[in-house]
Chain A
Amino acid sequence: MKIAICLGSVPDTTTKVKFTNNNTEFDTTGVQWVINPWDELSLTRALELKEDTSAGIEKVSVINVGERGTEPTIRKALAIGADDAIRIDAIPKDAYFIAAQIAEVIKKEGFDIVLCGIESSDYNGASVGGMLAEFLNFPSVSAVSKLEIENGKVKFNRDIDGGKEIVISQIPVVAIVQKGISKEPRIPSMRGIMMARKKPLNVVPAIETDALTEFVSFEMPTSKGKCKLVDSENVKELVELLHNEAKVI
């Protein structure tokens, strides 16, 4: 079996978010890029399965839609242990665009299990996995927190309200995974970093597809007002402030 990991390159979580071009674009100046945390967990699980010879995984590949700037993130995935990588050379426009691009590669390469993080930690669209399954006409299982292979089928745990749901699926299948799929991401070893130099990172052109959505503008949350402290003895002042200033009573 072959596993594909859909890998997003996202800003490090400590990034100070700013926008440019009249608040329609994320300002990438000085941003440090990392593997989308859910995709990194998917990769860890895929590698665990590959190491367990009874699971019968021959290859773990990562697929990314991005320009050349995403290659360090992709190579980190190779250093962690992915066998090869495909970068679809395009600026990711929206979820539809990304799903269409990845679907094209998966159709050509033929994967049995496709893992998508439940969302990306930057735009939080949470849409690519479902769309991808539609494009491929594969079954999809969402909110997967555990994934095992039993007798050539894939067994999933899904977190649902108040409990868990166990699902078994035929392959090929798209799994939309969340926390719990593996404990924590792996740290690449020196050996892994060295080997990543030699692993294939193939760049393929994007197919012609229009994005269905566009960003109109981004807005930062309004900052909270200053906190005023009123002495506990001074109830009258508190009532006045709530009435006249905060206008909540």
Chain B
Amino acid sequence: MDFEYTEEQLMIQQAARDYAQRELIKDVIERDTKAEFPTEHIKNLAELGFLGMLVDPKYDGGGMDTISYVLAMEEISKIDAAVSVIMSVQNSLVCYGIEAYGTEEQKEKYLRPLARGEKLGAYLLSEPEAGSDATKQRTTAEDKGDYYLVNGTKNWITNANSASIYLVAVQTHPEKGHRGINTLIVEKDSPGISLGPHEDKMGMRSSDTHSVMFTDVKVPKENRIGEDGFGFKFAMKTLEGGRIGIASQALGIASGAFELALKYSKERKAFGTEIFNHQAIAFKLSDMAVKIEAARFFCLKAAWLKDNGKPYGTASAMAKQYAADIAMEVTTEAVQIHGGYGYVKEYHVERLMREAKLTQIYEGTSEVQKIIISRSLLK
């Protein structure tokens, strides 16, 4: 067992840290307040290669391993989880999905611009009545010979407005239940697609989340990913990897809040000494540090399994559930350590606490992770 990072992994971690601490920090509060999409940052991160970092260089990606991805996600999320969720959806859902299961033509046409970060992608799975139970897809795709006719509504779609390439889960054979689900690559500017209003979210406010409506949208047959009926398996497989991204995001939110709380505790004085010298605060920080370290091990273990071609579904569910839950706990304590200052925007921790909450909800709630983990115990 080797706990050393490679030189390249450290270089990527440092590059992500430098970008976050130098650039993202400058306008993160303003963007969060105004719910403004980080257009310029996404362009810069694309140039640095963070939007297609896991994709094989032969498709213009960075060719980096999942460990590097965890490290980069943690660093970006310490400062701005709205940016890191864009990065996570792009890398672990959209790019991975097409690279792992797409045809050569699909990779040439869609994966290349995604890997270069010239185009953003979105994964449209959730529906108004199909969240945790993804088998209940109501968006239909009627087989019309050489194309599908898509109708329905998707909800809570990250990158809905900024993306130009959608991966859409659709029901093609309602009688087959979840075995009738497919995934289609849909270009956002196809006629018949419209967006609901920008969701006014509690956290991660500068990522663009909308519902997306499909009305008689024609999608060429060659845009289906995998065999007919592969859509549900596709969802489960891509989400396994997506969970490593969100787990690392939760880890970053927690460690970002921890770093701020630790710094504050060494500066702020109460009862004649720095508050770190009060056991009530020192023990909080100690508990936070332990939880963060454990979450980091979970994330890296799942990443290591993926990099080594071993099954990682349960490990990524454990990482996601644990990291999300401790992100909520750690950020809440970070606000507590900051006292009144923690409750105002200037000190960042209140935003991190709002961001942490979403990690327990999206890409599988903490409860869904427990379903996955407990089912694996039965096997």
Give me the interface of A with B, judged by CB distance under 8 Å: 71-72, 75-76, 79, 184, 187-191, 193-194, 197
How far, in angstroms, from A190 to B65 measured CA to CA in the complex?
A: 11
Q: How far is the CA of A188 from the CA of B49 in the complex (A)?
A: 9
Q: Name which residue of chain B comes closest to A188, CB basis.
A: B15
- Contacts known (A194-B57, A194-B62); A187 close to B8, Cβ less than 8 A: no
Q: Is B12 an interface residue (CB 8 A)?
A: yes
* CB atoms of A194 and B63 under 8 A apart: yes
Do A193 and B12 have beta carbons less than 8 Å apart?
yes
The secondary structure that dominates the B interface is helix
Q: Which of A72, A187, A197 contacts B18 (CB 8 A)?
A: A187
Residues A191 and B62 in contact, CB atoms below 8 Å apart: yes
**A-B pairs with the 9 shortest C-beta distances?**
A190-B49, A190-B62, A189-B48, A189-B49, A72-B7, A187-B18, A187-B15, A193-B11, A190-B53
Contact flag A187-B11 (CB < 8 Å), given A194-B62, A194-B63: no
Say yes or no: A79 contacts B11, CB within 8 Å: yes
- Beta-carbon contact of B11 and A75 below 8 Å: yes
Contact present for A189 and B11 (CB under 8 Å): no
B64 contacts A by Cβ under 8 Å: yes
CB neighbours (8 Å) of A75 from chain B are 7, 11
A194 to B15: give the CA distance in the assembly, Å. 13
Q: Which residue of A lies closest to B17 (CB)?
A: A187
A191 and B15 CA atoms in complex are apart in Å by 12
B11-49, CB < 8 A from A: 11-12, 14-15, 18-19, 22, 47-49
How close is A123's CB to chain B, nearest CB, in angstroms?
A: 23
With both beta carbons as reference points, the residue of chain A lying nearest to B63 in the complex is identified as: A194
Instruction: Please tell me if the beta carbons of B48 and A187 are within 8 angstroms of each other in the complex.
Output: yes
Most B CB contacts (10 A, CB to CB) among A75, A187, A190, A194 go to A190
| Residue tally, chain B, CB below 8 Å to A | 20
In whole angstroms, what is the CA distance A194 to B9 when docked?
11
Smallest CB-CB separation from B55: which chain A residue?
Answer: A190
Contact residues in A for B14 (Cβ distance below 8 Å): 76
CB of B12 within 8 A of CB of A190, answer yes
Do residues B19 and A187 form an inter-chain contact, with CB atoms below 8 A?
Answer: yes
Max chain B CB contacts within 10 Å: which of A79, A184, A187?
A: A187
The answer to whether B371 has its CB under 8 Å from any CB of chain A is: no
How far in angstroms is the closest Cβ of chain B from A100?
A: 29
- Bound-state CA distance A187–B17 (Å) is 10
In the complex the two chains form, what is the Cα distance from A4 to B22 in whole Å? 28
- The residue of chain A having its C-beta at the shortest distance from the C-beta of B54 within the complex is A190
Q: Give 11 new A-B contacts, CB below 8 A, not counting A190-B64, A193-B15.
A: A71-B7, A72-B10, A79-B11, A184-B22, A188-B11, A190-B12, A190-B63, A193-B8, A193-B11, A193-B12, A194-B63
A-B contact pairs, 22 of them (CB 8 A): A72-B11, A75-B11, A76-B14, A79-B11, A184-B22, A187-B18, A187-B19, A187-B22, A188-B15, A189-B49, A190-B12, A190-B49, A190-B50, A190-B61, A190-B63, A190-B64, A191-B49, A193-B8, A193-B12, A193-B15, A194-B57, A194-B62
Chain B residues contacting A72 (CB-CB under 8 Å) are 7, 10-11
Name the distance in Å between A32's Cβ and chain B's nearest Cβ: 9
Contacts of A71 in B (CB 8 A): 7
B53 to A, closest residue via Cβ = A190
Name B72's closest neighbour in chain A (CB-CB).
A190
Complex CA–CA separation, A23 to B373 (angstroms):
55
Within 8 Å CB of A194, what residues of B?
A: 57, 62-63
In whole angstroms, how far apart are the Cα atoms of A197 and B62 in the complex? Answer: 13
What are the interface flags for B58-73 relative to A under an 8 Å C-beta threshold, 1 for contact and 0 otherwise?
0001111000000000
Q: Verify A76–B49 contact, CB threshold 8 A.
A: no
Which residues of A have CB within 8 Å of B61? 190
For the complex, what is the distance from the CA of A187 to the CA of B75, rounded to whole Å?
A: 14
In chain B, residues 48-102, which have Cβ atoms closer than 8 Å to a Cβ of chain A? 48-50, 53, 57, 61-64
In the complex, A236 Cα to B289 Cα: how many Å? 49
Tell me the nearest residue of chain A to B44, going by C-beta: A187
| B64 (CB) vs chain A CBs: closest residue | A190
Q: Would B47 and A189 count as touching, CB distance under 8 A?
A: yes
Give A184 to B18 CA distance when docked, in angstroms. Answer: 11
State in angstroms the CA–CA spacing of A205 and B282 once bound together: 51
Shortest Cβ gap from A88 to chain B (Å): 20
Chain B: which residue is nearest A34 at the CB level? B14
Query: In the bound complex, what is the Cα–Cα distance between A126 and B47 (angstroms)?
Result: 36
A194 to B7, CA, bound (A): 11
A249 to chain B, nearest CB (A): 28
In the complex, which residues of chain B have a beta carbon less than 8 angstroms from the beta carbon of A193?
8, 11-12, 15, 62, 64
Docked CA distance A187–B7 (Å): 15
Interface string of B288-314 (1 = CB under 8 A from A): 000000000000000000000000000
Query: Closest CB-CB distance, A135 to chain B, in whole Å?
Result: 32
Contact B48 A190 (CB under 8 A): yes
Question: A2 to nearest B CB, angstroms?
Answer: 26
Q: How far is the CB of A51 from chain B (nearest CB, A)?
A: 14
Which listed residue, B11, B62, B63, touches A76 by the CB 8 Å rule? Answer: B11
CA distance A72 to B12 in the complex (A): 12
Complex contacts, A187 vs chain B, CB 8 Å: 15, 18-19, 22, 48
Q: What is the CA–CA distance of A190 and B48 in the complex, to the nearest angstrom?
A: 6
B15 to chain A, nearest CB (A): 5
Residue of A nearest to B46 (CB): A189
Taking the nearest CB of chain B, how far is it from the CB of A228, in angstroms? Answer: 13
Smallest CB separation, A80 vs chain B (Å) = 10
Q: Which residues of A contact B12 (CB under 8 A)?
A: 190, 193
Q: Hey, which chain A residues are within 8 Å of B63, CB to CB?
A: 190, 194
Complex alpha-carbon distance, A166 and B14, angstroms: 37
Q: What chain A residues lie within 8 Å of B19 (beta carbons)?
A: 187
Min C-beta distance of A191 to chain B, whole Å: 6
